[in-house]
């Protein structure tokens, strides 16, 4: 008798396909709705492009050696401070979105990231940020 019950646990594929066919409009409706919603979100989502630059920075361990080298090497807080204190209404939005972070691969490198609405504008914004950093940290003699 136990063997008989084990064989009754089989799935009838024809019955399963029949039930799916009966509910086809619900399945197609949900699929169409989620597809339309996904397309709408992707079209309306603002496009953001990112430009990055790598700069050499000093570390606290061997700062005596690095500081004596030419050109002057700066640290990440100095870069962040030069961006924070710069006052110019034209670049205010760009500077707020500029990010300076250490890289994982090297202790002596930092990454500066800036966003833009197109690749060209992201590149121009990065150039402006680098120009501001150079003016603040490396004044001309």
Task: Return the domain boundaries, the chain.
Answer: 2-44, 49-137
* Closest listed residue to residue 112, CA positions, set 51, 63, 26: 51
pTM exceeding the 0.75 threshold for the entire prediction: no
Query: What's the CA gap between 92 and 71, in Å, rounded?
Result: 29
Identify the band that residue 68 occupies on the pLDDT scale cut at 50, 70 and 90.
very low
Best mean pLDDT range from 2-11, 37-46, 48-57, 58-67? 37-46
Residue 81 pLDDT > 80:
no
Q: Is the CB of residue 108 less than 8 Å from the CB of residue 96?
A: no
Identify the band that residue 4 occupies on the pLDDT scale cut at 50, 70 and 90.
low
Architecture of the domain whose range is 49-137: 2-Layer Sandwich (3.30)
Residue 70 pLDDT > 50:
no
- Write the DSSP symbol of residue 98: -
């Amino acid at each position: 008798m136990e063997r008989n019950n084990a064989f009754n646990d089989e799935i009838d594929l024809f019955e399963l396909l029949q039930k799916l066919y009966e509910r086809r409009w619900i399945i197609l409706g949900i699929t169409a709705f989620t597809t339309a919603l996904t397309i709408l979100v992707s079209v309306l989502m603002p496009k953001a492009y990112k430009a990055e630059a790598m700069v050499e920075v000093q570390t606290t361990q061997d700062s005596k050696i690095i500081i004596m080298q030419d050109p002057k090497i700066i640290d990440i807080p100095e870069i962040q401070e030069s961006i924070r204190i710069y006052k110019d209404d034209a670049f205010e939005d760009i500077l707020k979105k500029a990010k300076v972070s250490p890289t994982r691969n090297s202790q002596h490198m930092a990454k500066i990231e800036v966003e833009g609405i197109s690749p060209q504008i992201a590149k121009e914004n990065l150039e402006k940020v680098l120009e501001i950093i150079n003016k603040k940290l490396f004044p001309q003699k």
